[in-house]
Amino acid sequence: MTTQCRKGIVLAGGKGSRMFPSTVVVNKHLLPVYDKPMIYYPLSTLMLAGIADILIISDPQFIGQFKFLLGDGAQWGLKISYLVQDEPRGLADAFLIADAFIGNDPVALILGDNIFHGQHLSSLLQDTAQKVSGCRLFGMHVGDPERYGVVELDAAGRPLRFEEKPLRPRSSLAIVGLYFYDGRCVDYAKRLKPSARGELEITDLNRLYLAAGAAQVTTLGRGIMWLDVGLADALAEATNYVRTVQQRQGMMLSCPEEVAVNMGYITVGQLAELVRQMPGNEYSEYLRNLLQTDE
């Protein structure tokens, strides 16, 4: 049975230790990636999937900063709520924290430091969100699969096994930080035991779905870019990528206001009112030009 996914979670917790000292006074997911906060990118990805009911999970020290930045989401036609993860206990811990938010509904989980961009991305995401059965995952070939959870596929493209940061990867196909699960995810997460790292691993959750014959993996091709912005070098790479694409194409990546009006979450008139309240800079000027185009 397939069900449409209308709920999404952005996991934006953790200590940000790999970016110390930049993350002493600010959560990593609030750092700028070129011209906008990092969390705008995963938030926009969920919006492009047609998801407007979104939960932000972060640590208690910085949750107030996310609330100040994003509010309740009404300005973008969203419903944004917040929950605290007091200690990083693994990605699958998000489903235990979000138990009441999820209920028995399907849900999408995206990591707060993952950026997606590319041709037909929105249609791919919407198609996936409309047909959630079991878990639907995405894989991308990488040069350093030992850094990620990886999947080995059979000749027909079906997943055979999932491995978490293997020393000798059987595959170069990494599972990216965007996951769609049906309503069983909370019950499955409750079955998990901490790994040797002391965390509830998302890979172990995926293995439960695989054992139930309910795991699907879509391989992302060359037309889609995936950036895992977990290190300082990766942040610089992402900033350069966004800058290059925006300057060459004249279109902004992951601008929530633009996504909101294009997806029909808000009207052109509501966008105009948002722009009216913005300071004069390149960001607001871009949106003003969009409004003139729609006239």
For the stretch 138-173, pLDDT in tens is: 999 999 999 999 999 999 889 999 999 998 989 999
Q: Is 292 in contact with 271 (CB distance < 8 Å)?
A: no
With 60 as the cut, is the pLDDT of residue 38 above it?
A: yes
With 90 as the cut, is the pLDDT of residue 292 above it?
A: no
pLDDT at 295: 56
Give CA–CA dist 228/237, Å, rounded: 10
pLDDT at 152: 94
Q: What is the pTM of this model?
A: 0.95
Give CA–CA dist 128/160, Å, rounded: 21
pLDDT in tens, 96-120: 999 999 999 999 999 999 999 998 8
Q: Is 257 in contact with 76 (CB distance < 8 Å)?
A: yes
pLDDT band at residue 22, thresholds of 50, 70 and 90? confident
Give CA–CA dist 121/291, Å, rounded: 24
**CATH code assigned to 7-264:** 3.90.550.10
pLDDT band at residue 222, thresholds of 50, 70 and 90? confident
To the nearest whole number, what is the mean pLDDT of the chain?
A: 94
